Amino acid sequence: MQSNLNYWLQVIYWRVKLLFKHDKKRYLSLFHNLGIMANDILYYDVALSHKSKSIYLNGRRMNNERLEFLGDAVLSMAVADYLFKHYQKAKESMLTSSRAKIVNRQNLNKIAIDMNIQKMMRKDNTLFSLKSNVYGNTLEALLGAIYLDRGYNASCQYIYKHIIKNPEYIESVIRKETNHKAKILEWCQKNKKSHFFELLSEKQDAYSQIVFEVQILIDGEPYGIGSGHSKKEAEQHAAEEALKRIENL
């Protein structure tokens, strides 16, 4: 109840500030479509601009790639903080794998599409077919914009509302098994390629736990490296890296 009250107090305060803005419609569009109360709309203009439709600000050509980098870091920190506080008995390996499932491109892309980010993006569809993760990347860019515009706490509030959502949702994401190895096998069979997992190293971490590092080779060429506290976990992470590379081919 208190959080809802605080939210509406923020909305009222923000709307009063809008009275002094000359381009109220753009700010209201961002709020009504994506729930963002912006102080400076320019950050979001950049965040919503795919590199196929870059914009010019102060003579500079800009798109959302740099903001995506920043938003990725903000998201990773916010999710790590949430997991650390809510799963106090979990080991580091469980926290790491849980965070990876929450912030992976497939999950973020689905969230972004559910938020209708694709309707707000500036993109040139005539140049090429957009990669499947482009909307999730734009969501990260928006998080970077919120961080620069309103600070870390506001970024976290947005992440909690749209990505973490609630404990039940997070539990469902964490429990979901993503079999990257099966996807790699399917892709290799379809494209008539061979694949092989090579163990690179096996060493103890700071907590005396064994950490495996594995490399995946496709037709003899390195495609990704992964690590984990079991060979299977390391292979999954290596396969995930390989899938990211394949998506960008």
Per residue in 33-54, pLDDT (tens digit) is 998 999 999 999 999 998 888 8
Q: Are residues 186 and 220 in the same domain?
A: yes
Are residues 91 and 83 in contact, defined by beta-carbon separation less than 8 angstroms?
no
CATH number (domain holding residue 68) = 1.10.1520.10
Which of 148-157, 191-200, 223-232 is predicted least confidently? Answer: 223-232
Amino acid at 25: K
Q: Are residues 51 and 156 in the same domain?
A: yes
Q: Are residues 64 and 86 in the same domain?
A: yes
Instruction: Provide mean pLDDT across the span 230-248.
Output: 87
* Among candidate residues 149, 175, 201, the one where a domain is terminated: 175
* 45: annotated active-site residue: no
* 241: annotated active-site residue: no
Q: Is the pLDDT of residue 164 over 90?
A: yes
Q: Are residues 171 and 185 in the same domain?
A: no
Q: Of 140, 213, 235, 240, which one is the catalytic site residue?
A: 140
Structural domain containing residue 205: 180-247
Per the listing, tokens 């903080």 go with 81
- 3-class SS letters over 134-184: HHHHHHHHHHHHHHHHHCHHHHHHHHHHHHHCCHHHHHHHHHCCCCHHHHH
pLDDT in tens, 171-199: 888 877 667 888 899 999 999 999 999 99
Q: Are residues 44 and 75 in the same domain?
A: yes
Q: Of 23, 65, 68, 72, which one is the catalytic site residue?
A: 72
Q: Are residues 12 and 60 in the same domain?
A: yes
pLDDT in tens, 47-103: 999 888 888 877 888 899 999 999 999 999 999 999 999 999 888 878 888 898 899
Q: Are residues 203 and 221 in the same domain?
A: yes
* Among candidate residues 175, 192, 220, the one where a domain is terminated: 175
Q: How confident is the model at residue 128 (pLDDT cuts 50, 70, 90)?
A: very low
pLDDT of residue 208: 65
Q: Are residues 160 and 195 in the same domain?
A: no
